[in-house]
Structure 1
């Protein structure tokens, strides 16, 4: 069984602090570049979608343009649901 030494604990703490500061330094260097690439890629994807939608618009349908009105709903207006009836209560002394 090994016992933890004081110098071993200090070394571990030093390595943790060093790793933390190195990680922060590298994140400051590379994170802006990474975010820039992600934004550029999203912008390119957005432009591709816009070009695709302009090439194939939704309003391109068959030559036969028909409008069908559903008159069944206009004859019978929508009824409101009746959940129950109102009961007036009186207090009894």
Structure 2
């Protein structure tokens, strides 16, 4: 048996979709401040923990204030002077 879509079924489906949309919209407005506070608190804890860890590392290092330390030496390329002689060129007309 083949069933055809009716106008009442179409309106009912549109009404259900609209109610779900507005329900989610209202719930999002109610719970968004709580969610944002939770996310902000977690971010604050994470950044605070990183800051405390950095402070502990600075206290443990034995360097004095203003002292410069080099962690990695740069690669210095030296030229080979035994390659050949420098030849000055002359322009030929």
Q: Could you state the TM-score of these two structures normalised by the residue count of structure 1? A: 0.62
- The residue number in structure 2 matching 1:39 is 40
- The residue number in structure 1 matching 2:15 is 14
Equivalent residue pairs, number: 72
SS of 2:58's equivalent in the other structure is coil
The unaligned stretches of length 5 or more in structure 1 are: 74-93
Q: Could you state the TM-score of these two structures normalised by the residue count of structure 2? A: 0.62
Residues in 2 aligned to 1:51 and 1:59: alpha-carbon distance in whole angstroms: 12
Are residues 66 and 21 of structure 1, via their aligned partners in 2, closer, same or farther at CA, if it must alter by over 3 Å? Answer: closer
The unaligned stretches of length 5 or more in structure 2 are: 78-93
